Amino acid sequence: MFRVGTDETNVQYEDVLCNFCGQPWDPDDPSRPMLEGHHGSHVCGECLSLAYQAIVHEGQNHRTEGLACTMCLEEREDEIWSSSERPDASLCRRCIKQSATALEKDQDYTWRRPIGPTNAQE
């Protein structure tokens, strides 16, 4: 998402906010990457780590009927994670895993998926 009042013809880094915690993107902090989804949705590395841990390792599911994934905009059958800070934003298992794969390949960031008991098969 973007900060209220963002000039869409001149978006600055600090205008880009994580949909799940509201923190701005800081491109100078390699430990805090930001991924973009559809229609200006964003997830930071910290929220992605929380989502990965909750869904992949702990098997949580915050599914609510009619709630689509904030990143892909689809209502999917797989598990959904929602941040306690912004429960209206959700992240599906597929987007969690795709985002994790993309961030681990990005040489500009040091992000790694959380290690858990089943991580060897993930």
Does pLDDT of 76 surpass 90? no
- 3-state secondary structure (DSSP) of residue 16: strand
Q: Does some domain include residue 120? A: no
Q: Do 113 and 49 meet the contact criterion of CB atoms below 8 Å apart?
A: yes
Question: Tell me, what's the pLDDT at 40?
Answer: 81
pLDDT tens digits, 25-35: 888 887 779 99
Q: Does some domain include residue 77? A: yes
pTM of the model: 0.86
Q: Does some domain include residue 54? A: yes
Structural domain of 81:
13-107
- Of the segments 6-10, 92-96, 107-111, which one has the largest average pLDDT value? 92-96
